[in-house]
Amino acid sequence: MVNPDAVRGQVLLEESREAVVVLDEAGVVVAASRRARQGLGVREGEQLGEELLRGGRALVVPYEVDGRQERLVYLSEAGDLAAYEELRSGFTAAVSHELRTPLARLLSLLELASLPGEDVPALVEQARREIDQIRELIDEVLFLAELESGTRVVSLGAEPVLPVLHEVAAELEEPAARAGVTLRVEGDEAATAEVRPRMLRVVAHNLAENAIRYAGPGATATLSVRREDGEVVLRIADDGAGVAPADLPRLFERFYRADRARASRGTGLGLAIVKHVVASAGGSVEARGARGEGLEIRCVFPAGREGAPGAPSR
């Protein structure tokens, strides 16, 4: 019979706005809140890094359960609220800036359309594209906010990855052709990841779209999935323009664009969403590459458990 107190305790820990972990006598993480896993990279079953316990950062509450000593550890610092307010303020300013550009172009197009001799249908079509970009930006900002608030559930059973990659490639065949980029798909048909199909499609779509936008004409981008060392690696690699090494660590920041990408009509949120979805599923992301040598982005997911809901039967 399910213990209601245990269920309540699990929900309270998981949904806490604080970064909270439970440690056993050996300092191994027994349980961790979503914020601790996503924000600090804490993993259950592993030792908690000593740097998280030093410097007055952690509030430790020791207790005993069934004769065992455990510790409840709050990892939030006193300055977290101020840091959050600063982040929120910066994010709001960035959204405002990103919206200002297409709105200014839209206003300019409307003013041109009122002048005699202008090609009004062509200007209306351009205005429609600007509106589409504004809508895309708003949708992605709202989607990212839902991810960060926990409203969107990311993990739910094991899902085959390769069919999703083929679906995404088919959806993006036309924009890839317009950009002069060849999009290929390959990988292990048996690879599954514990992530909802909708979220898996978001990750694959954003990775492929990023390559289409920035790899450059004549490039080939390969979307693939492999099982490696008990994990599933979803990877996109292109042989296009690449990215300067100094830009690699910042590719997953919201609204960050490398020099070549600054003229693009992208929202600057695609890879930030990728990182958040993968982290929410218990995985990690990494970018590799160099200027003129292409770009590779690796998303590492926990492998789907055999027999889990959604996993292929043998």
Q: At what angle do helices 270-280 and 120-149 cross, to 10 degrees?
A: 20
- The pLDDT tens digits of the residues spanning 97-146 come to 556 767 888 888 888 888 888 888 888 888 887 787 677 667 666 665 65
Q: Residue 166: what pLDDT?
A: 95
Rounded mean pLDDT of 276-302?
A: 87
For residues 307 and 10, which has the higher predicted lDDT (pLDDT)? 10
CB-based contacts of 267, cutoff 8 Å, min separation 6? 98, 133, 136, 137, 140, 255
Q: What is the mean pLDDT of the chain?
A: 77
**Which amino acid, one-letter code, is at 59?**
L
Q: State the Cα torsion 249-254-255-259 to the nearest 10°.
A: 0
Structure tokens that stand for 218 in this block: 């004549």
Q: Residue 309: what pLDDT?
A: 39
CATH number corresponding to 4-74:
3.30.450.20
Within this chain, domains 80-149 and 159-302 share the same CATH topology: no
CB neighbour class for 105 (10 Å; exposed up to 12, middle 13-18, buried from 19) = middle
The residues with which 224 forms a beta bridge, in sequence order, are 186, 235
> Which sequence spans correspond to the domains of the chain?
4-74, 80-149, 159-302
Select the highest-mean-pLDDT range: 44-48, 63-67, 170-174, 249-253. 170-174
> Closest Cα to residue 288, out of 218, 233, 230?
233
pTM attached to this predicted model: 0.53
Which residues in the chain belong to E strands, given as ranges?
20-23, 29-32, 59-65, 68-74, 159-160, 182-187, 192-193, 220-228, 231-238, 284-289, 295-302
Could you say which architecture CATH assigns to the domain 80-149?
A: Orthogonal Bundle (1.10)
Task: Decide if domain 159-302 falls under CATH 3.30.565.10.
Answer: yes
Structure tokens that stand for 266 in this block: 């992208």
Q: Which 8-state DSSP code applies to residue 311? A: P
Nearest-5° Cα angle at 212, 209 to 217: 175
